[in-house]
Amino acid sequence: MTLLQVSNLTIEDRLGTALVDGVTLSVDRGEILGLVGESGSGKTLACRAMMRLLPGDGLAIRGGEIRLNGADVLAYDDKRMMAVRGREIGMIFQNPASHLNPVMTIGKQIAEGRRWHFGASRREARQQAIELLRQVGIPDPARRVDNYPHEFSGGMRQRAMIAVALACEPKLLIADEPTTALDVTVQMQVLHLLRDLRDRLGLAVILITHDLGVVAQTCDRIAVMYAGRLCETGGKRQVLGAPRHPYTRGLIECQPSSDGGVGRMVTIQGQPPLAQRFPAGCRFHPRCGRATTECTSIQPEMRVDPGTDNHAAACHHAVSVTNRGMVHGQ
């Protein structure tokens, strides 16, 4: 059942540049969607738009629809939006050190959500905070509840931030690169925690990341973004196993293999374009080995490969089940 449906979302800056252009996504209950792309590809912006918390004052949602449980979130006034934030959609961030209030104890920050959204008493909220800390795997939560963020380690802070978000019992958790600032073993623990929460609470998660390894371990479905546009969406196995868009293929080939590999690491040549100089047509064409004149002028639509279950790509030369062998032979 669809929890959040984003259609044709377009976000423009003051100059009218579409930093997020026609993005269409959906998340089901209990599903983990991986949103993948390079820095500056508009992943975070798209997710901030879902909470109506765009940074800066020049950015605005210029088109599209965001439907939460069928209701149009963009039509909500500030007061109704406040009831959506935290309560319906929660958010956790890359850098828990700066996203936790330095002068408030961890327990108070968790309890505040209980008190604000559920009207819990001080004592109830504290008990619930201890319980939430236990749930996210903080050892000795009854003592830790009175610690300040600086007394927690990096991994524990991320868990604490997850607990703060969970205190409001959201249906959807947007996790903006939650593991980027953590070392690998702690990364694994946090990802396990997210999967565990999905299994136990039926939480839907949008996991923003640029790490395909994280996606492979955690997500059910994947959406790949490049320069503000969606290039490929589909099931995890479809996208990672049989990428249809050249950019996705490039991303996968960039991953260093665990056995060391041979020779130089494969990279995608060139740089992602600046927002003010997005190329016409397909925004990936200057870096694409398969680009033709068609790619330089006509913007490709997202098209579902007919032979698959909702595996879509925005490419004039998208690989499909039927022509896969042919393109490989090129």
Partner 1 sequence: MTAIQGFAAFRRRVLPRESTLTAGIVILSAWLLVALFCPWLAPYDPIAQDPSATLLPPNPAHPFGSDNFGRDILSRVMWGARIDLQICLIGVAFPFLLGTVIGAVSGYVGGVVDTLLMRLIDIVLAFPFLVLMLAIIAILGPGLGSFYIAMAMVGWVSYARLVRSQVLTLKHRDFVLAARSLGYSHGRILFFHLLPNALTSSLVFAMSDCVLVLLSGASVSYLGLGVQPPVAEWGVMVAEGQSFITTAWWITTFPGLAIVVLAMGFSFLADGLGDKWGARP
Give residues in contact with partner 1 (CB under 8 A): 51, 53, 55, 82-87, 90-91, 93, 95, 98-104, 112-113, 116-117, 161, 164-165, 168
CB of residue 233 vs partner 1: minimum separation in angstroms?
Answer: 25
User: Between 20 and 167, whose beta carbon lies closer to partner 1?
Assistant: 167
Q: How far is the CB of 278 from partner 1 (least distance, A)?
A: 27
Tokens 């868009």: give the residue: 245
CB of 319 to partner 1, least distance (A): 38
Cα(105)–Cα(88) distance, integer angstroms:
24
Give me the residues paired with residue 26 across strands: 5
- Report, in Å, the least distance between residue 301 CB and partner 1: 33
Nearer to partner 1 by C-beta: 50 or 268? Answer: 50
The rounded distance, in Å, linking the Cα atoms of 96 and 160 is 8
The DSSP symbol for 95 reads -
Query: Which CB, 115 or 210, lies closer to partner 1?
Result: 115
Judged by beta carbon, residue 156 or residue 222, the one nearer partner 1 is 156
User: In angstroms, rounded to a whole number, what is the distance separating the alpha carbons of residues 315 and 86?
Assistant: 37
Q: Is the Cβ of residue 203 or residue 231 nearer to partner 1 in the bound state? A: 203
Contact assessment for residue 211 and residue 242, using Cβ atoms and an 8 Å cutoff: no
The distance of closest approach from Cβ of residue 318 to partner 1 in the complex, given in angstroms and rounded to an integer, is: 36
Q: Which is nearer to partner 1, 118 or 278 (CB)?
A: 118
Residue number with CB closer to partner 1 (82 or 186): 82
Cβ distance 8 to 65 under 8 Å? yes
User: Which one, 36 or 110, has the nearer CB to partner 1?
Assistant: 110
In angstroms, the Cα distances linking 181 to 92, 130, 153, 246, 296 are 13, 25, 12, 29, 37
Closest approach of partner 1 to the CB of residue 312, in Å: 29
Task: Find all residues with CB under 8 Å of 154, minimum gap 6, and list them.
Answer: 96, 97, 181, 182, 183, 186
* Strand pairing category for 2-12 and 60-68: antiparallel
Question: Hey, what are 186's tokens?
Answer: 């702690």
C-alpha pair distances (Å), 74 with each of 1, 34, 62, 201: 21, 23, 11, 27
Shortest separation between residue 88's beta carbon and partner 1, angstroms: 9
Question: 303-330 b/e with 16+ CB inside 10 Å = b?
Answer: eebeeeeebbbbbbbbbbeeeeeeeeee
Helical ranges in 136-211 per DSSP H: 141-144, 154-166, 184-201
CB of 159 to partner 1, least distance (A): 15
